[in-house]
Structure 1
Amino acid sequence: MKITGRYSLILVACTSLLAYSSGAMAQQSADELAKQLSNPIASLTSVPLQLNWDDNVGPAEDGTKTTLNIQPVIPVSISEDWNMISRTILPIISQNDIFPGAGSQFGLGDTTQSLFFSPKAPSASGWIWGVGPVLLIPTGTDDLLGTGKWGAGPTAVVLKQTSSGWTYGALVNQIWSFAGDDDRADVNSTYFQPFLAKGLGKGRTLSFNFESTYDWETDKATVPLNIAYSKVTRWGKQLVSLQGGVRYYVEQPQSDSQWGLRFVVTLLYPK
């Protein structure tokens, strides 16, 4: 596996910048934080730095792709009973030979911004849920890194967490393009992520999810299964979650790529 020097510098810079915290953080157990991290709409401010690597990309299986997703999660109390949770995904992409003659590209991909409005308390039966809008912002710095389109649609998440340490649920969104480069293809895509996690104690979690995307314009699906192990710990005074995992593509259009890797450093800022 080859991860470019540029990515190493970006990851170090982001970690160094975001790890600084001037206030005293409230103390929470590692298990409580791990449980909150398994909930996409928990009232926990965090900054995941998610590094994904894929090999044998493209129809000729000659391509490689490395993506660093910067994913700040910011909960905001908007009333006595409701939170608004902002989830942003800003990808930084380095790719080579994703199809014959494509060459190399490095830069920003499109940004996905989601807002979830969620009750602060679970339902009487223990379900946690949130709904809201999702926005696709054309921040791609190269035609091969972004869609060139503005898009919007609904997003929702529902989950349940048990006393035995299980978390299960699903997140979904639908995006339709409504503006942008007229010469680029329209966006009409559904994202569906069922997830399952098991807390193992001492801040450790084993998690599984499918990050399925269906492109209605091309009638093609991408279905990777991610399996990951994480642990909450400290870097000095900074609380972090460290995660490593593998990805297997159950379905991948125009490519025979089957395996990938994922590493995540999540900076935690509990109240």
Structure 2
Amino acid sequence: MKKTFVFVAFLLFGFAMTSHAQDDDAELAKKLANPIASLISVPFQNNTDYGIGTMKGIRNTMNIQPVVPISINKDWNMITRIVAPVITQYNITGMGEKQSGLADAVMSAFFSPKNSEKLTWGVGPAFLLPIATNDYLASKKFGMGPTVVALKQMNGWTLGALANQIWSVAGDQDRSAVNQMFVQPFVVYNWKSGAGLGGNLEWTQNWESSSSTVWLNPVLSGVTSLGKQKTQLAIGPRFNLAAPDGGKADWGWRAVVIFLFPK
């Protein structure tokens, strides 16, 4: 599996660096590095993690993450984003046990000024939607709270961070309350070809259990065309730096396909 990952990463890097990308590929890559760019996109982000906990479990998470910007007026955009995870896991809850299904989703709406010269930013609400189809993957809680993103783009670089804090406000009283913070600093460098190299840190803090889950995700990306469809492909390893209750993974990898719909 590791050899396959390295081979695919090598092919992607070679393709991204040697293809004769058009000028708009660089602009698309720049917008994709910005979570609140005025660009309709539909990312499919697949994360596969191995050696989880004492039973050395495996978890595959496919995050479906459509992003739709809405123009409110001449000065403001509202960027809507939903993250809906589809999970299949083995040997996590018990040896030989398997769970699969849709997990709870998080929906965000960022209000962002259209013209920001020095710092791009957005702020708004985030909602936890109890849509899970499997009890092991569900909080059975509806939650809400604030979310914010800020970033700076210059000379091919994008540096920024996204964060949210969600509290449960309704749901199954037999389930634990949700009081959770998510912080995601990120950095990307994009070449003029549309290729990019960067990464992010995903830190989830559960205030109820006083536990942290931290992943480091380096990623290599490239913008290309599948027929007439503009697409970004990305791949990279995942490193689990912290996890609660002995649930740390040995390693993982991420592969992303993003379908782009520029105006």
Q: TM-score scaled by structure 2? A: 0.89
Report the counterpart of residue 106 of structure 1 in structure 2. 100
Q: 1:49 aligns with which of 38, 44, 60?
A: 44
| 1:198 matches 2:189 | yes
Shift, 1:100, TM fit = 2.5
Question: Using a 3 Å threshold, how does the CA distance of structure 1 residues 28 and 153 change in structure 2: closer, same or farther?
Answer: farther
Cα separation, 1, equivalents of 2:138 and 2:47:
17
Shift, 1:45, TM fit = 0.3
Question: How big is each residue's C-alpha offset from its partner over 1:75-106, in whole Å with a ceiling of 9 and x where there is no partner?
Answer: 00001000000011011110111132571111
| 1:232 matches 2:242 | no
Report the counterpart of residue 21 of structure 1 in structure 2. none
Q: 1:151 aligns with which of 143, 161, 181?
A: 143
In structure 1, what residue type is equivalent to 2:192? G
Q: Unmatched 5+ residue regions in structure 1?
A: 2-26
Conserved 8 A contact 1:210-1:226: yes
Conserved 8 A contact 1:197-1:205: yes
1:211 is paired with a residue whose SS is strand
Cα separation, 1, equivalents of 2:146 and 2:90:
33
Q: 1:96 aligns with which of 84, 87, 90?
A: 90
Conserved 8 A contact 1:61-1:255: no
Cα separation, 1, equivalents of 2:26 and 2:221:
11
Cα separation, 2, equivalents of 1:169 and 1:261:
23
Cα separation, 1, equivalents of 2:144 and 2:191:
38
| 1:80 matches 2:86 | no
Cα separation, 2, equivalents of 1:255 and 1:47:
30
Cα separation, 1, equivalents of 2:248 and 2:72:
46
Cα separation, 1, equivalents of 2:62 and 2:28:
23
In structure 2, what residue type is equivalent to 1:47? V
Cα separation, 1, equivalents of 2:55 and 2:113:
46
In structure 2, what residue type is equivalent to 1:96? Y
| 1:67 matches 2:58 | no
Shift, 1:165, TM fit = 0.4
Report the counterpart of residue 6 of structure 2 in structure 1. none
Report the counterpart of residue 202 of structure 2 in structure 1. 211
Q: Unmatched 5+ residue regions in structure 2?
A: 2-21
| 1:131 matches 2:123 | yes
| 1:270 matches 2:262 | yes
Give aligned pairs, total.
243
Q: Which has the higher contact order (CA 8 A, sep 6+)?
A: 2
RMSD of aligned residue pairs (Cα, Å) = 1.5
Q: 1:256 aligns with which of 226, 229, 248?
A: 248
Question: How big is each residue's C-alpha offset from its partner over 1:17-42, in whole Å with a ceiling of 9 and x where there is no partner?
Answer: xxxxxxxxxx9610000000000000
In structure 2, what residue type is equivalent to 1:127? L
Shift, 1:201, TM fit = 2.4
Cα separation, 2, equivalents of 1:257 and 1:70:
22
Conserved 8 A contact 2:25-2:223: yes
| Sequence identity (%) | 49
Q: TM-score scaled by structure 1? A: 0.87
1:144 is paired with a residue whose SS is helix
- Where in structure 1 do 4 or more consecutive aligned residues deviate above 6 Å? none
